Amino acid sequence: MRSLRHFKARDLMGNGVSKKCVFDFLKNTITAGLVAVKIPKGQDSVFDAAEYELVKDVGRRCPRFRKGQLDPVPLPHERMWAAMKPLRSGFTVRELASLTRSGESNTWNYVAALRRHGYLETLTEAVGGAYPTEGRYRLRKLMVTGPDAPQLLRGGAVWDPNRNVVAEEVSE
């Protein structure tokens, strides 16, 4: 859509993308004011005839919608990724959860996955026992791969959308 600016619904079709999916997406983008539609008079098929124009560009990521409106709230893993970058002195899971308004278990899963895949270095190991201490972590400078947050996949894998690869697990 961004490169075309003017397009038809069939231009959004790809492998495994249904007409319903395309029309639902277009309906949401029109409702949110991102796309304008022009339907030529006397056309039988709206799918082939309607022309769309991108009126408002919201960036390179596909917009998310909630009840037909643009959803500006970032997902928890996006908030965590953004918060990790400036924390050069490190962070604990509890601190990161508090900063990003994410649940501790969700934050722990994300931190553990990034640590397994070499994104985080451990500054202080977590210690259990009578006087437990939390582990302290920091994002490795070489692993700041871009603005998009790495995503957890089923099975514990990590997808890095900045490099367009599934990250390999590393041993420390």
In this structure, are 34 and 87 located in the same domain? Answer: no
Domain that holds residue 160: 76-167
Total structural domains in the chain?
A: 2
pTM reported for the whole predicted model: 0.68
* Mean pLDDT lowest among 1-5, 46-50, 111-115: 46-50
In this structure, are 85 and 146 located in the same domain? Answer: yes
pLDDT digits (tens, 9 = 90+) for 157-171: 899 988 888 888 887
Tell me what pLDDT residue 59 has.
Answer: 74
In this structure, are 34 and 117 located in the same domain? Answer: no
pLDDT digits (tens, 9 = 90+) for 7-50: 888 888 877 888 888 888 888 888 888 888 887 776 655 656 78
In this structure, are 65 and 95 located in the same domain? Answer: no
In this structure, are 97 and 23 located in the same domain? Answer: no
In this structure, are 42 and 20 located in the same domain? Answer: yes
Sign of the dihedral through C-alpha 16, 66, 32, 23: positive
